[in-house]
Each structure stands twice: as C-alpha cells, then as structure tokens.
Structure 1
Amino acid sequence: MTDVVQTFLLAFSALFSIVNPIGAAFIFSQATTGRTHDERSLLARKIAIYSALILLGALWGGTYILAFFGISLPALRMAGGLVVATSAWSLLYAPEQTEARKEEQASHAEGLNDVAFFPLTMPFTTGPGSISVAIALGANRPTGGDLVPFFAATSAAALAVAALVWLAYTWAGDAVPLLGRARARVFTRLSAFILLCIGFQIGLSGLTDYVQSLR
C-alpha cells in the first residue's frame, strides 16, 4: 500500500506541475471571455475528458510503442527524465514564455464544439510536454512483479489531474481574480521545482538500471 501511495504522489506531482490547471485557468478565462458560465462549464467538462484520455493513453501505451522501436527501458527512463527536467527548468525560470505560448494557442478558440479538443485540450492543456511526462512516468514502471498497482496508482493520478482541470476551468471566471496572476506564478515556480526533482529521479532510475545491466 505504501508503494501505491508513493507512486500516486509521484505521478500526481509530475502531471499536476506540467499541466498546471491553476495557471492554465487564467488563460482559459481570457480565451473564453464573452461566453456564458454554462458554455464554460461544458467546455471545461469536455476538455477534462479529453485530457484524461490523452494522459491515460500516454501512460498505458506510450512505453510499449517506444519499446516496439527497440528503445530499452533504461534509455526511455533517462530520456524521459531529461524531458521532464527540461520542461521544469523552463517553467521555473521562464513561466511568462510558457503563458505567452499557451495564450497564442488558445487565441484560436472560436466555435464551442470545434475547439474543445483543438486547441483547448491539445496542445493548450495537455500538449507535448504533458504527454512526454506521462510516457516518462509509464517508463518508470517496476520491472517484474505485478504491474496492476502501479498502473492503478498512475491512472488515478491522471484522473485526479483531469478532475482538477475541470474544476479550475469551470470556475476560472470567478476564482482567477481572487488568486491573481502574481500568486499563480509563485505557485507555478514551486510546482516546477518539484517537477525538476521528479525528472532527475526518473533519469537516475534509468541510469541505475543501465549500470546494473552492464554488471
């Protein structure tokens, strides 16, 4: 049970940091200015469902797809850890650039049904960075033994993050002004530091496995 809880916390911290529902809610609020609360709620629900499917697909199938191309698990872990750490570094030292990029992606939002998946889900909410993190987490699965607890914990983390996306986007118009952009950026930097540590941990796990295989 302890391992399951630790796996859940690891996956939740990584996915929450890279998706950043609170920070993204600011941009979602700006991109949906002029829409009614019911329309925002409908969009938020669709985005949350699509985000959950993308994250779960990357968690479950990403590792096996890469393995099909002959990429070893240690190599996948090291590369995934590097991607996670690089994304965290950008969030830590240049969150303004990330916000500007997401604002540009969300600025193309027009029709309610047309934009729920693109661009508001992909790439605005769960873009390449989020997918890379999910694949890296899936690559961190234990070798041997029962994989059900691992995938149950990581899947629960992905669903929890999607649920937070739904809540944050639904109430973005009311909650965002209370928090303020400055406080959101402080929260983003704290989350990015945790994500940076997680990236190094995943990379070190891959390096350790590689060294052991040489022995």
Structure 2
Amino acid sequence: MRDFLLAFPALFSIVNPLGGLFIFLSATQRFHPTLRAALARWVAIYSFVIVTASLYVGAYVLTFFGVSVPVLRVAGGIAIALTAWGMLNAPDPEPGQDKSTAELPTASTASRMAFYPLTMPLTTGPGTISVAVSLGTNRPRNIGEGQFLWFLAQMTLATLLLCAIIYLLYRYADGISRKIGPTGTAVIMRLSAFLLLCIGIQIFWNGAAELLASVH
C-alpha cells in the first residue's frame, strides 16, 4: 500500500476538507439546507472526477494544450484569490434568518455552482491538480505482474476516501456550525476566507516565480 500511503496524505493536506467546510458554508450560507446537501454530493462527485482525471491523464492534457504547471498555478491562484475576496467582503447572514426564506436556485444554477466555484477552484484547485499530476507521473511503466493495475487501485482508493470525507464534512457543515455557535462560525468563516485569499496569492506567486526563473 505504498502508493496509497503516499497519495492520500498528499491529497488530503492540499485539499484540506476540514478548513474547506467553512468555506463551503460561507459560500452557501443563504441557500436552503436541502440544496446545500445536494451541492455537497455534487462537489464530492466533481472532486473525484477532477482528481482522477488529473492522476491518469492530467499530464497528457496539459502537454496537448501546451499549458505548463506554473501557468496553471498562476491562473488558478488568481481565480482563488478573486473568489476569496468576494467571500471575505460578503455581508453576514441576518441572525435568526428563517430557513424557509433561504434562496433556492434552479437546478441548472446549482449544478454550475457545484462545479465552479465550489469544486474548482475552492475544493480541488490548481494545487490539487498539480499534486495529482505529479502522483500520476510516478505510475509504473511495466504493466506486467499486475503492478500497473495495483497502482490504479491504490490511487482510486485514496481518491474515493478523500471524496467521501469531503461529502461528509460538507454535508453536515450546518450541524458543525450550530455546535460552534453563530459567533464562532462567523469568525472562522472570515478567517477561512482570508486564509483562502492568502493561499490563492501563494499559489499565484509560486507559479509566477517559476515562470520568472525560466526567463533567465
């Protein structure tokens, strides 16, 4: 299980679903709980698709379109920073707001929001994609003796476990928020949005530094 023990901690640390649940809650705080549960399910599904595709064909796709990993980081960092800035300046929900009056967007709007920005870039952004691409390049070249299939099985298991954790934390984010309390939740959501802004700038700078270094 060497590949699993390498992949799961690496993906879990970069996705950070524990911190992401408050970002998810902040982005969906005005939505009906039923819709929030559906969004959590779709975010987990989209995350599985993105991570799996990045693991197996991510490097080939980037090469085909002529996109380097530093450019991916620059673009993703800008997207994350802009989204985090909007969340950081979003108004707080009214205390005691009736959930029956919460927004209930159409199915098409909810589906689009589940992919962007909740899945990409907030949950599985450019950092996750670059880590998954790096993990995928370590696959065994020899497909004999079941080594390649065993590698695929371990990578798929790590991705499934990660996405199951994402779904459970996002699905019950409202309940976790109630245990913390409204004041604590508001503070954590603002801090999470600010940290996400810092992460976006850091991802942008990492990509920009690599691009600048390549000029020389």
- Provide the TM-score with structure 2 as the length reference: 0.61
CA 1:176–1:20: 2 relative to 1, 3 Å: farther
In the other structure, the counterpart of 1:15 is 11
> Identity rate of aligned residues, in percent?
42
1:197 equivalent in structure 2 = none
1:62-73 to 2 correspondences below 5 Å? 62-65=58-61
**Structure 1 counterpart of 2:100:** none
1:162 CA drift (Å): 1.1
Alignment of 1:110-149 (within 5 A): 111-145=109-143, 146-149=147-150
Conserved? CA contact 1:11–1:154, under 8 Å: yes
- Aligned pair partner of 1:54 in 46, 50, 56: 50
The residue that corresponds to 2:163 in the other structure is: 162
Is the Cα contact below 8 Å between 1:105 and 1:119 reproduced in 2?
Answer: no
Q: Which amino acid in 1 is paired with 2:172?
A: W
Residue 63 (structure 1) shift: 3.4
User: Secondary structure of 1:124's match?
Assistant: helix
C-alpha separation between the residues in 2 aligned to 1:40 and 1:176?
Answer: 13
Q: How many residues align?
A: 161
Q: Taking structure 1 as the reference length, what is the TM-score of the superposition?
A: 0.61
The whole-number CA distance in structure 2 between the counterparts of 1:9 and 1:105 is 36
Cα separation, 2, equivalents of 1:170 and 1:113: 16
Q: Note the aligned Cα RMSD (angstroms).
A: 3.7
How far 1:114 moved relative to its partner? 2.8
Whole-Å Cα distance in 2 between the matches of residues 119 and 156 of structure 1? 25
Q: Structure 1: give runs of 5+ residues left out of the alignment.
A: 71-75, 84-98, 189-215
Deviation, structure 1 residue 36: 2.3
**CA deviation string 1:20-50 (max 9, x = no partner):** 1110111111111122221111000011111
Q: Within 5 Å, which residues of 2 pair with 1:42-121?
A: 42-65=38-61, 103-104=84-85, 111-121=109-119
Structure showing greater Rg? 2
